């Protein structure tokens, strides 16, 4: 079926083909109803929603303040052995070239070993083995 045949088929089976087209008066009335219902268009150079910008910036500021306070609180209340510091760097005792012995600055005892794996999907699995665990 080509375009011409499709057009003819649609015109033959159009349920509104018997209805007369709208007159000038009906078209003008319909236009007035639509324009009355539509909101006023923004003026030239005016950005829609601009009056929401201060509210958005306030939300960003509150979010940053809450995140900063949470980070500050977390670093103030963390156990000393859990947070690395400048004088005691975090050192892993496992991996290539490591003997598994405790090094200066390491928070884990010598009997702790760590196994790290990465799945094909990117998930990291870390096992910490402690031979001195007492329940």
Q: How far apart are CA 115 and CA 126, in angstroms?
A: 6
Of 84, 104, 85, 80, residue with least CA distance to 93:
104
Reduce the DSSP state of residue 90 to 3 states and report it: coil
State both tokens at 121: 């999907």
pTM summary value: 0.30
Half-sphere exposure in the Cβ direction for 15 (13 Å, CA): 0
- pLDDT single digits (tens) 20-39: 888 999 999 999 999 888 87
Q: How far apart are CA 18 and CA 20, in angstroms?
A: 6
The alpha-helical segments, DSSP class H, found in 78-126 are none
Half-sphere exposure in the Cβ direction for 19 (13 Å, CA): 6
- pLDDT single digits (tens) 48-93: 677 788 889 999 999 999 999 988 887 777 555 544 444 444 444 4
């Amino acid at each position: 079926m080509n375009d011409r045949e499709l057009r003819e088929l649609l015109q033959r089976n159009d349920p509104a083909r018997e209805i007369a087209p709208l007159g000038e008066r009906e078209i003008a009335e319909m236009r007035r109803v639509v324009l009355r219902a539509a909101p006023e268009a923004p003026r030239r150079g005016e950005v829609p929603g601009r009056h929401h910008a201060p509210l958005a910036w306030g939300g960003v500021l509150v979010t940053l303040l809450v995140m900063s306070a949470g980070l500050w609180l977390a670093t103030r209340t963390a156990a000393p052995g859990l947070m690395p510091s400048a004088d005691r760097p975090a050192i892993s005792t496992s991996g290539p070239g490591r003997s598994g012995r405790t090094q200066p600055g390491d928070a884990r005892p010598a009997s702790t070993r760590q196994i790290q794996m990465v799945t094909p999907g990117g998930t990291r699995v870390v096992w910490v083995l402690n031979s001195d665990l007492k329940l």
